[in-house]
Chains A and B, each alone.
Chain A
Amino acid sequence: MDGNVESLENQVNFDTDCFAQSLASRVLDNAEAEQKEKMLEIIDLVCYSDKTLVGDINLKELDREILEAAFEELQEYQSDEHGEEDTDLVNEGQTIVEINRIAGMDIHFEHFKPKHVQRKTRRFF
Chain B
Amino acid sequence: MKGLWLTVDSLCNYLQTLDNLITLKRLDEEGYKLPSDFTFVASTWGDHLMEFALATIFECTPVERSLTRKTSNGSYETPELVLPLDGYEDWWRLRDKYPEAKELEEDMSSLEFDCIYGGSGISIRFDQDGMIVEDVSDTTYCHPIMDDLFTLKRMWIESLNFWRGKELQDGSNERRMENCDSEAAHEVSQCA
Interface positions of A (Cβ within 8 A of B): 42, 45-48, 51-55, 57, 59-60, 62, 64, 67-68, 70-71, 74-75, 77, 79-81, 96, 99-100, 102-106, 108-109, 112
Chain B, range 1-39, C-beta contacts under 8 Å to A: 1-8, 11, 14-15, 17-19, 21-22, 24-26, 28-29, 34-39
Flag whether B126 is at the interface (Cβ < 8 A): no
- Are A67 and B21 in contact, CB atoms less than 8 angstroms apart? yes
- Are B36 and A59 in contact, CB atoms less than 8 angstroms apart? no
Give Cα distance in the complex from A53 to B127, angstroms.
36
- Are B6 and A80 in contact, CB atoms less than 8 angstroms apart? yes
- The one of A67, A81, A105 that contacts B22, using a Cβ cutoff of 8 Å: A67
Flag whether B76 is at the interface (Cβ < 8 A): no
- The one of A55, A74, A102, A106 that contacts B36, using a Cβ cutoff of 8 Å: A55
Question: Interface of chain A, helix or strand or loop or mixed?
Answer: helix
> Which chain B residues border A80 with CB–CB below 8 Å?
5-7
| Count class of interface residues, chain B | 20 to 34
- In the complex, what's the smallest C-beta–C-beta distance from A72 to chain B, in angstroms? 9
**Residue of chain B at shortest CB distance from A55:** B36
> Which chain A residues border B41 with CB–CB below 8 Å?
51-52
- Are B18 and A46 in contact, CB atoms less than 8 angstroms apart? yes
- Are B34 and A54 in contact, CB atoms less than 8 angstroms apart? yes
**Residue of chain B at shortest CB distance from A106:** B3
> Which chain A residues border B34 with CB–CB below 8 Å?
54, 59
- Are A54 and B18 in contact, CB atoms less than 8 angstroms apart? no
The answer to whether residues A48 and B25 also contact, given A53-B37, A71-B18, A80-B7 and a CB cut-off of 8 A, is: no
Give Cα distance in the complex from A108 to B5, angstroms.
10
> Which chain A residues border B4 with CB–CB below 8 Å?
47-48, 96, 99-100, 105
> Which chain B residues border A68 with CB–CB below 8 Å?
22, 143
- Are A54 and B6 in contact, CB atoms less than 8 angstroms apart? no
Q: Which of B3, B29, B34 has the most CB of A within 10 A?
A: B3
- In the complex, what's the smallest C-beta–C-beta distance from B161 to chain A, in angstroms? 30
> Which chain A residues border B8 with CB–CB below 8 Å?
79, 81
21 A-B residue pairings within 8 Å (CB atoms): A47-B4, A52-B39, A53-B36, A53-B40, A54-B34, A54-B40, A59-B28, A67-B22, A67-B25, A68-B22, A71-B19, A74-B11, A74-B14, A79-B7, A79-B8, A80-B7, A81-B7, A104-B3, A105-B5, A106-B3, A109-B5
Give Cα distance in the complex from A96 to B10, angstroms.
13
Give Cα distance in the complex from A46 to B17, angstroms.
7
Give Cα distance in the complex from A79 to B9, angstroms.
9
- Are A53 and B15 in contact, CB atoms less than 8 angstroms apart? no
- Are A74 and B22 in contact, CB atoms less than 8 angstroms apart? no
Give Cα distance in the complex from A40 to B120, angstroms.
31
- Are A59 and B3 in contact, CB atoms less than 8 angstroms apart? no
